[in-house]
């Protein structure tokens, strides 16, 4: 285990990864950029009561099951048809549910993230630190089983579903320029260990017949841009198993869903049972659709709200209402933003070489088909999660 406050802490993690995945040294990309940000990985471990873990399991399983009820899909059929979305049969690997913990110890859902980062690296961080991920029996071998299951469920050509000849692509927009490109490289090497043929590709370079399984990290969630046109054609025609995919994003991760989950007419249409209602009311913060409420009313409520784009990611264009100017507020486009009940991030105090410091944190809970697999914390200082806080970054979590 590396020295807790070593200035080369991230470098030591990189060395561990290279030792675990020797194929990483065969690529030139590691030398062309900083593979791991100095503040990507926190030296601290977050300790939480097991009640938090049980809440996470219950919320995740409930929301996933709800989103895949027949009447849920029926409710949204006009919208999915308008968007040209068809159910591909499969779901999405390595997705997450992100939470804050309120002052009463209750989890509050911040967002569902179908294109979440750091599951593989997170698992390896636990391994490097000789810590058991205490939330489940997940291993990287489980991920192979998830991929095989995705292929079995998907509507792709049967020739791509042969488990002894899987060709897996890892895609994103300009992947070698992504901040976590190291995870793409590790994923490629892991897939090779699984016995898959695997490559990292720009989303626009995927061609028919090249790959059957595609691990999708592109944040053009609905494949609506010109550069993802070919990818969308392959997906729509069932030529690839895309995981995660636009249909799953619509059902769970489009932030418009969080607005609707809290609406009584939506709850009544779906006939939610008492347990489902309790979980939504307790754990999903109130979300307001700015297109359906007067701007003056929103302005008056702003100090209790947090504003974010409906389809952005990575804390882009997010604003805390209490620190927002009227000028910024008036530039909001109602159809593109939502206002969410502000739930302050929990804090922990940690001993650093400069003395005790407080760090905010959220929880990233990775899951597949509603089953929790791994929990990571993200420590930071400031308004939103970032990779700029010394001693901040991804941290292991222990439950007791």
Furthest CA-CA distance within the chain: 60
Q: What is the DSSP string of 196-227?
A: -EEEEEEGGG--TTT-SEEEE--S-TT--SGG
Per-residue pLDDT of the chain (400 residues), as tens digits, is 445 555 457 788 988 999 999 988 776 656 556 778 888 999 999 999 999 999 999 999 999 999 999 999 999 999 999 999 999 999 999 999 999 999 999 999 999 999 999 999 999 999 999 998 878 899 999 999 999 999 999 976 555 555 568 999 999 999 999 989 999 999 999 999 999 999 999 999 998 778 899 999 999 999 999 999 999 999 999 999 999 999 999 999 999 999 999 999 999 999 999 999 999 999 999 988 887 888 888 888 888 888 887 766 555 667 887 778 888 877 776 667 788 888 999 999 999 988 999 999 999 999 999 999 999 999 999 877 777 899 999 999 999 9
* Digit-coded pLDDT (tens) for 268-326: 999 999 999 999 999 999 988 887 888 888 888 888 888 887 766 555 667 887 778 88
Per-residue model confidence (pLDDT) at position 2: 44
CA 271/CA 273 separation, integer angstroms: 6
Q: How far apart are CA 226 and CA 246, in angstroms?
A: 16
Q: Render pLDDT for 176-212 as a digit per residue (tens, 0 to 9).
A: 999 899 999 999 999 999 999 999 999 999 987 788 9
The rounded distance, in Å, linking the Cα atoms of 241 and 258 is: 27
In terms of Cβ atoms closer than 10 Å to its own Cβ (0-12, 13-18, 19+), residue 268 is exposed
- Residue 292 CA, distance from chain mean position: 28
CB 135 within 8 A of CB 371: no
Token pair of 196 as six digits: 């898959």
- Exposed (0-12), middle (13-18) or buried (19+): which is 80, by Cβ within 10 Å? middle
Burial of 228 (0-12, 13-18, 19+ CB in 10 A): buried
DSSP assignment letter at 252? I
Cα angle 198-203-204, degrees, rounded to a multiple of 5: 120
Task: Kindly list the domain boundaries of the chain, sorted by start residue.
Answer: 9-256
Query: What's the CATH number of domain 9-256, 3.40.50.1760, 3.40.50.620, 2.40.30.10, 3.30.310.50?
Result: 3.40.50.1760
pTM of the complete model: 0.92
The per-residue pLDDT for 276 is: 94
Across the strands, what pairs with 41? 394
């Amino acid at each position: 285990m590396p020295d807790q406050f070593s200035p080369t802490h991230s470098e030591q993690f990189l060395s561990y990864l290279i030792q675990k995945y020797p194929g990483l040294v065969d690529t030139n990309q590691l030398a062309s950029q900083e593979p791991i940000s100095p503040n990507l990985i926190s030296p601290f471990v977050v300790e939480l009561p097991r009640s938090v873990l049980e809440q996470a399991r219950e919320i995740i399983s409930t929301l996933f099951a709800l989103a895949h009820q027949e009447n849920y899909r029926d409710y949204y059929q006009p919208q999915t048809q308008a968007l040209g979305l068809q159910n591909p049969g499969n779901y999405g690997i390595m997705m997450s549910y992100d939470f804050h913990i309120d002052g009463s110890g209750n989890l509050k859902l911040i967002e569902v993230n179908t294109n979440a980062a750091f599951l593989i690296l997170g698992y390896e961080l636990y391994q490097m630190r000789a810590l058991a991920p205490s939330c489940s029996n997940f291993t990287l071998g489980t991920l192979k089983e998830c991929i095989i299951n995705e292929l079995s469920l998907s509507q792709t050509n049967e020739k791509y579903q042969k488990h002894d000849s899987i060709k897996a692509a890892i895609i994103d927009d300009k992947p070698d320029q992504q901040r976590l490109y190291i995870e793409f490289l590790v994923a490629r090497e892991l897939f090779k260990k699984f016995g898959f043929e695997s490559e990292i590709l720009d989303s626009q370079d995927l061609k028919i017949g090249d790959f059957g399984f595609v691990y999708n990290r592109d944040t053009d969630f609905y494949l609506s841009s010109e550069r993802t046109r070919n990818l969308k054609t392959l997906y729509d025609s069932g030529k690839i198993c895309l995981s995660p995919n636009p249909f799953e994003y619509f059902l769970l991760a489009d932030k418009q869903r969080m607005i609707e989950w809290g609406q009584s007419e939506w709850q009544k249409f779906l006939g939610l049972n008492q347990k489902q209602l309790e979980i939504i009311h307790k754990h999903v913060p109130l979300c307001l659709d700015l297109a359906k409420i007067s701007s003056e009313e929103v302005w008056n409520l702003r100090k209790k709200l947090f504003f974010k784009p409906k389809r952005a990611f990575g804390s882009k264009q997010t604003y805390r209402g209490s620190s927002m100017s009227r000028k910024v507020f008036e530039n909001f486009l109602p159809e593109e933003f939502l206002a969410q009940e502000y739930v302050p991030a929990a804090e922990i105090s940690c001993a650093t070489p400069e003395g005790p410091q407080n760090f905010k944190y959220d929880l990233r809970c990775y899951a597949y088909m509603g089953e929790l697999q791994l929990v990571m914390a993200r420590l930071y200082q400031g308004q939103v999660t970032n990779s700029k806080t010394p001693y901040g970054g991804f941290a292991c979590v222990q439950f007791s």
